[in-house]
Structure 1
Amino acid sequence: MTLIEIKDALSRAQKGILQYTELMRLFAMVDVSDDAKFQRAYNAFYRVQRRQESWYRGYYSLMQSLKGKNSTFSDILDEIYRLTGRYEPSFASKLLATIDPSKPVWDRFVLENSGHKAPSYSHKEKFELAKKVYASLEKWYSEFVDSADGQNCIAEFDRTVVSDFCFTDVKKVDFILWQTRK
């Protein structure tokens, strides 16, 4: 990734970075299972839409119950399915990354830019495949953050983003990958 591509991605990410900062400040202060301001901010940032009320209730109750706990993508993916009847790898990762910002987000641009591919929603083993993809994504981030390209991304994020909020290295790279379009 070139410096120009990194700067371009960070320029496009500025609004999202501000939204994320506010979202995470709210997360630390409120009961997310019933705080409408947090839920609106989360829904706007992660583009959660067109879900039934029972989905939102289950999702945010799960998020609140997992605050401060060590959770895994696999457990969250399974629990969302149990609560909602839906296969939601993207939203499982977003919940996990909210309770543990050192975890990556499953997003089509992040997957593409990290060389990963989501399993088909119709695949009979999609849950197990998604868990393997996420584990591979975590490994990729771990290696990328330590690489020269990863360090360039992190350094440029630190130069560009003026904030008193503490971003993890994974989140810094995440914002850049999220806004890198091929």
Structure 2
Amino acid sequence: MEKPFTLTVSLTTPQIDSSLENVKVGLAKYLNIQKRLNELTGKPLKDNTEFRKSFNGFYRIRQKPAVWYNAFYELLDESRSQSIDFSTILRSLHKATNRYEASFASKLVATLNPQMPVIDSIVLKNLNTKLPYQSDPNRFDSICSLHAEISRCYTQYLQSEQGRYLVSQFKKTYPAADITEVKMLDLVLWQAR
């Protein structure tokens, strides 16, 4: 049986303000990735070393075997032309790599659908939770439930007074940044350490 999650974002006003100061570099990298993704519509990303280098650097994808990178970018290419969801990507990445790569699956999904949150060690720490253990017999379902709960948590937070403050301050600090509120929250959480 899946355990119920009750995640909450608990950023204080000073945490938001100080995190916003540190978002600039990551935001520029993210915007570059999204711009290149759009420019490369109809062209394979798996063979574009510039895109892969930018993506790998931003999302800290390191020290994977070549076969892993090829499988990941082939899946990203295949997913660009279809409606995707987290569970499908998690399962497809597992089939290609024999690992449940929750973080990388969420990064692929969030790249193609910026309304989706990223599962990341820093985000998980800020939400006071962890990925299910490797030994969890229902690991796939547990990871999918966690991703859904993070989405719910983000939606709830962004509707709160503190969430509206975060969005308002983000837009004031970076008025030219055309990104989703979910990505604003992701970027701030990545800096709230």
Task: Please tell me the residue identity of whatever aligns with 1:170.
Answer: V
What are the superposed Cα offsets for residues 74-117 of structure 1, whole Å, 9 maximum, x if unpaired? Answer: 11101001011122000000000000011000012212323433
CA RMSD, Structure 1 to Structure 2 (Å): 1.3
Query: How many equivalent residue pairs?
Result: 180
Shift of 1:7: 1.7
Question: Aligned residue for 2:65?
Answer: 52
1:137-176 per-position Cα deviation (integer Å, ceiling 9, x unaligned): 111111111111111111111011143x410010011111
Counterparts of residues 1-182 of structure 1 (less than 5 Å) = 1-30=11-40, 31-163=44-176, 165-181=177-193
Q: Distance in 2 between matches of 1:120 and 1:79?
A: 20
Describe the SS at the equivalent of 1:131.
helix
TM-aligned CA deviation for residue 72 of structure 1: 1.0
The Cα of 1:12 is off from its aligned counterpart by 1.7
Bigger helix fraction = 1
Quick one: which amino acid aligns to residue 6 of structure 1? I
Q: With structure 1 as the length reference, what TM-score do the two structures score?
A: 0.93
The answer to whether the Cα contact below 8 Å between 1:23 and 1:42 also exists between their aligned partners in 2 is yes
Structure 1 residue ranges (4+ consecutive) displaced by more than 4 angstroms after TM superposition: none
Of the two structures, which has the highest relative contact order with CA contacts closer than 8 Å and spacing of 6 or more? 2
What is the letter of the counterpart of residue 21 of structure 1?
Answer: L
Whole-Å Cα distance in 1 between the matches of residues 18 and 135 of structure 2?
Answer: 36
1:37-75 CA-partner distances (Å, limit 9, x unpaired): 000000000010111111111101111111142211111
**5+ long unaligned stretches in structure 1:** none
TM-score (norm 2): 0.88
Q: State the distance in 2 between where 1:112 and 1:32 align.
A: 31
- Check whether the contact 2:13–2:162 (CA below 8 A) recurs between aligned residues: no
Residue 23 of structure 2 aligns to a residue whose secondary structure is: helix
